Structure 1
Amino acid sequence: MASNGHSNGSANGHFPASDPAVYEKYRELWAKLPDTDDEWLARASEVKEVLKQDAAQREQEGRSPRAEVALLKHSGLLKVLGPKRYGGGGKPWHVGYRLIREVAQGDGNVGMIYGYSLYWSATVNVVGTPEQAEALHEFIISNNLFLGGAVNPRDSDLTVKSDGDTLIWNGFKNFNTGGVVSDLTVLEGVLEGTKDHIFTVVATNQPGIQFAHNWDNIGMRLTESGSVKIENVVSPWTDALGWNPQTKRPIPEVSDIPYVSLLLPSIQLVFSNFYIGIAQGALSTAAAYTRQHTRPWPFSSDPKESALDEFYILERYGNFHAHLAAAAALADRANAAATQLYEQYNYTKNNRGELTPRERGEFAETVAAVKVVSTDTGLRVTSGIFEVTGSKATSRKVGLDRFWRDLRTHTVHDPVAHKNRELGRFALLGEVPVPTWYT
């Protein structure tokens, strides 16, 4: 398995990095790992409260989130899905998804990179052999590692060349979320001379992984989602997930099954949960501002002494609350469906091949429904909060705009219109979608 290493710092790139020392006290404070579901959620809530204190300022400074990754490590949240036998939390996916949502309430950027890291850490459960899964989990958990991934499907696949007992990786990806501050990077490419895809996990801190430090977008500014060049990165054949290193061919019972394509709705559900978390954080922050600063409108047929008595303000907050509650409930339903599938079919039971295309497709459409609702509701709430906070709330110091900018930036990751169309064919014709890199 890839050796442990510290990530390339963006201090030499476009933005300086935040200093991990600012969160050092939490290393000891959070030394004991949570146990129950409620304890894990409480820990995520503590992280949320830490992050929200200066989220607007950090977002405006645009510093690489090295300190925030250290905070996640101190909290133990990176270990929540890992097997207990290696020191992990042993929790199912519905707990992980809820933690992503909670962290995103405090800082959508950190919620996003946290969600991606959890996802990449669990990828081996889907595409790897049981032996690879056990080895990688032990390595990640025992070293408390943070993961990124150079797997943007809109770009050309990385090229993978076999050279004896090793693989040589080359290529370019326009997006590589969290890579700059990661310990390990997931690579995906196509083996030369074939159409077969390979996943592997390598140390980030090596000369062949070259970050451009060019992430300077309107939102999700602290996610280090810029481009990366992969140049002659070498990995052993034994780390080709789901492949036989002797025959150098995919293992059929791992690769040629609907189960492998569960990766796609699983990451889409990561997205929806941090969308909802961002919107919840926006509503909470706006409400605090309204209670403290928003003034009533004096030029009304029924003027009020307090903004808290204004009909339109109460109506808007009530409507936002109702729609966010509905979105969260729908997400919880999908989160539970993910847990059910991964607990029913998994590498420890050696029954991943029993998942049917229909089961996989129905899960994908449950997730698609959450994606549509979380996108629509999230954008509506994060833009609408200015209607109930007032003109002074548009100040950069207040920073309410970051919620909308973060959501607007990531919700164009893939067109939600295609999710609506898929759901239309499912509702009208009973069809489940053919798996793609985005479905």
Structure 2
Amino acid sequence: MAPSLTGTVTGAFHQETPNPTSDPAVYDIHHQKFTSAGLPSTTEGWLERARSVSEILAEDASARDDQNKSPRAEIALLKSSGLLKLLGPKAFGGGGQGWDVAYKAIREVAKGDGSIGMLLGYHLLWSTTANLVGTDEQKDRFQKTIIENNYFIGGAVNPRDNDLKITDHGDHLIFDGQKHFNTGGVVSDLTVLEGILEGTEDHIFAFVTTVQDGITFAHNWNNVGLRLTESGSIKISQVKVPWVNALGWDIVTHKPNPAILSIPFATLLLPTIQLVFSNFYLGIALGSLQFATNYTKTSTRAWPYGGDNKTSASEEFYILERYGNFFAHLRAAEALVDRAGDEAAKIYAEYGQNREVSERERGELAEWVASTKIVTTDEGLRVTAGVFEVTGSRATGKKVGLDRFWRDIRTHSLHDPVAYKNREVGEFALLDKIPEPTWYT
């Protein structure tokens, strides 16, 4: 999630009382429907499934945001819908779709509920981590485990904090430390950990079972937006990981495999998740415009003192002008985001097996992604704040819930400053410089 203001976790780890959890039974009728229908078999079927989930979540999104319950029910809905399996190989029971489809599904879910769209996006990234930094054996093993068990994956990989400390104990590793932010961990089945092996500068990623004595959640996520993402602090104490689960490492020599971890393909993890961000920003913005449209047509009153008075708000020039402007800019943003998604899917399709993507190809994808981050941040914040201009003062009422869209984008768009993306794209446009891979690039 978003970085800490100081960049490190300081002070003692304080565990607060967990939030009450939402009840998966509230979606029983939908669980039965999705289970009976089975997984979609076409791309359009997957997107229709995402739209169905979005519509279900949108019905009470404002109330759930206000209640701030741990999203057990919402994760159960993602599970029964099959969306957690969208990227998985068909051989293991997955959807066999590409990232272009996954991004669109994330966007659809975020239209109805930004928090759950974000959780779906992070899950799809973390659940395929072994595809990027694992061996072929690890890739197949973890994909099979995740898909066959319909696991939801969380991640405790906030780069702004100190890295977790990893020590070698012969046949296994021990992870220790804490992170100011993790995403979805409280409601996850598996958690991705990342740290540095003691005595080296080498990073290790590993999947671990979430529910265990060594993992403690602070339950301190109560932020202004994305309130249902369970993105609070986490403490890792003596968590044991077999060497065989250290992604991309040689289990005999206890060394990183350079053919996996020292090539540009492994660093695709970063633009992939940055494009996840752009898609749920865009989804949230599109959701806000649709919500505002319905409100304007049913509840906004025409202004009686303009001199060219109309009988309904939807006839007023300034309201039509604003909606037209918002719609056009979001349509342009959607075209850009889809193009970036196509570029990502193309690289995965071409290099997913041989991992031979070049630095240049990786860098050009990163610039497509950086462009989307700039545009979706700027337009997302503008539209989600601007919709109040076309809905009126009564739309600021808490029971309306129109503010949640802006709060969600504002919260996550601080994850990494968009100003650096502007500079990065400027260097690419002016100097033809591709970015050096970092934790945020």
Which TM-score band applies after superposition, normalised by the shorter structure? Answer: over 0.9
SS at the partner of 1:216?
coil
Where does residue 192 of structure 2 map in the other structure? 186
For structure 2, list consecutive stretches of 5 or more residues without a partner in the other structure.
1-14
Letter in 2 for 1:187: L
Match of 2:411 among 400, 409, 417: 409
Letter in 2 for 1:131: E
Match of 1:296 among 302, 311, 314: 302
Q: Could you report, residue by residue, the CA deviation over 1:47-71 in whole angstroms, capped at 9, with x for unpaired residues?
A: 0110000000000011111100000
Distance (whole Å) between structure 1 residues aligned to residue 58 and residue 77 of structure 2: 13
Where does residue 126 of structure 1 map in the other structure? 132
The answer to whether the aligner puts 1:15 opposite 2:19 as a matched pair is yes
Where does residue 136 of structure 1 map in the other structure? 142
The answer to whether the aligner puts 1:25 opposite 2:56 as a matched pair is no
Q: Could you report, residue by residue, the CA deviation over 1:204-253 in whole angstroms, capped at 9, with x for unpaired residues?
A: 00011100000011001110000000000001000000001111001111
Match of 1:397 among 376, 399, 402: 399
Match of 2:97 among 81, 86, 91: 91
How far residue 14 of structure 1 moved from its aligned partner, in angstroms, is 3.7
Where does residue 154 of structure 2 map in the other structure? 148
The answer to whether the aligner puts 1:228 opposite 2:228 as a matched pair is no
How far residue 180 of structure 1 moved from its aligned partner, in angstroms, is 0.3
Distance (whole Å) between structure 2 residues aligned to residue 264 and residue 26 of structure 1: 34
How far residue 12 of structure 1 moved from its aligned partner, in angstroms, is 8.3
Distance (whole Å) between structure 2 residues aligned to residue 130 and residue 26 of structure 1: 36
Distance (whole Å) between structure 2 residues aligned to residue 385 and residue 371 of structure 1: 21
TM-score by length of 1: 0.96
Matches within 5 A, 1:188-227: 188-227=194-233
The answer to whether the aligner puts 1:332 opposite 2:348 as a matched pair is no
Where does residue 254 of structure 1 map in the other structure? 260
Where does residue 432 of structure 2 map in the other structure? 430
Match of 2:288 among 282, 292, 297: 282
How far residue 401 of structure 1 moved from its aligned partner, in angstroms, is 0.3
Q: Could you report, residue by residue, the CA deviation over 1:1-37 in whole angstroms, capped at 9, with x for unpaired residues?
A: xxxxxxxxxx983421101111122222112100100
How far residue 335 of structure 1 moved from its aligned partner, in angstroms, is 0.4
Distance (whole Å) between structure 2 residues aligned to residue 290 and residue 23 of structure 1: 30
Distance (whole Å) between structure 1 residues aligned to residue 213 and residue 403 of structure 2: 38
SS at the partner of 1:170?
strand
Identity level (%): 61
Distance (whole Å) between structure 2 residues aligned to residue 26 and residue 430 of structure 1: 50
Match of 1:381 among 372, 383, 392: 383
Distance (whole Å) between structure 2 residues aligned to residue 158 and residue 12 of structure 1: 22
TM-score by length of 2: 0.95
Where does residue 74 of structure 2 map in the other structure? 68
Q: Could you report, residue by residue, the CA deviation over 1:154-173 in whole angstroms, capped at 9, with x for unpaired residues?
A: 00110110101100000110
The answer to whether the aligner puts 1:241 opposite 2:243 as a matched pair is no
Where does residue 5 of structure 1 map in the other structure? none
Distance (whole Å) between structure 1 residues aligned to residue 345 and residue 186 of structure 2: 30
SS at the partner of 1:24?
helix
Letter in 2 for 1:276: L
Where does residue 364 of structure 1 map in the other structure? 366
Letter in 2 for 1:327: A
Letter in 2 for 1:371: K
Where does residue 308 of structure 1 map in the other structure? 314
Distance (whole Å) between structure 2 residues aligned to residue 56 and residue 27 of structure 1: 22
Letter in 1 for 2:292: A
Distance (whole Å) between structure 2 residues aligned to residue 404 and residue 13 of structure 1: 28
Distance (whole Å) between structure 2 residues aligned to residue 23 and residue 195 of structure 1: 47
Distance (whole Å) between structure 2 residues aligned to residue 44 and residue 112 of structure 1: 13
Match of 1:169 among 164, 172, 175: 175
Letter in 1 for 2:265: Y
Q: Could you report, residue by residue, the CA deviation over 1:139-182 in whole angstroms, capped at 9, with x for unpaired residues?
A: 00000000000100000110110101100000110100100000
The answer to whether the aligner puts 1:273 opposite 2:279 as a matched pair is yes
Where does residue 4 of structure 1 map in the other structure? none
For structure 1, list consecutive stretches of 5 or more residues without a partner in the other structure.
1-10
Distance (whole Å) between structure 2 residues aligned to residue 132 and residue 26 of structure 1: 34
Distance (whole Å) between structure 1 residues aligned to residue 19 and residue 404 of structure 2: 18
SS at the partner of 1:187?
strand
The answer to whether the aligner puts 1:58 opposite 2:64 as a matched pair is yes
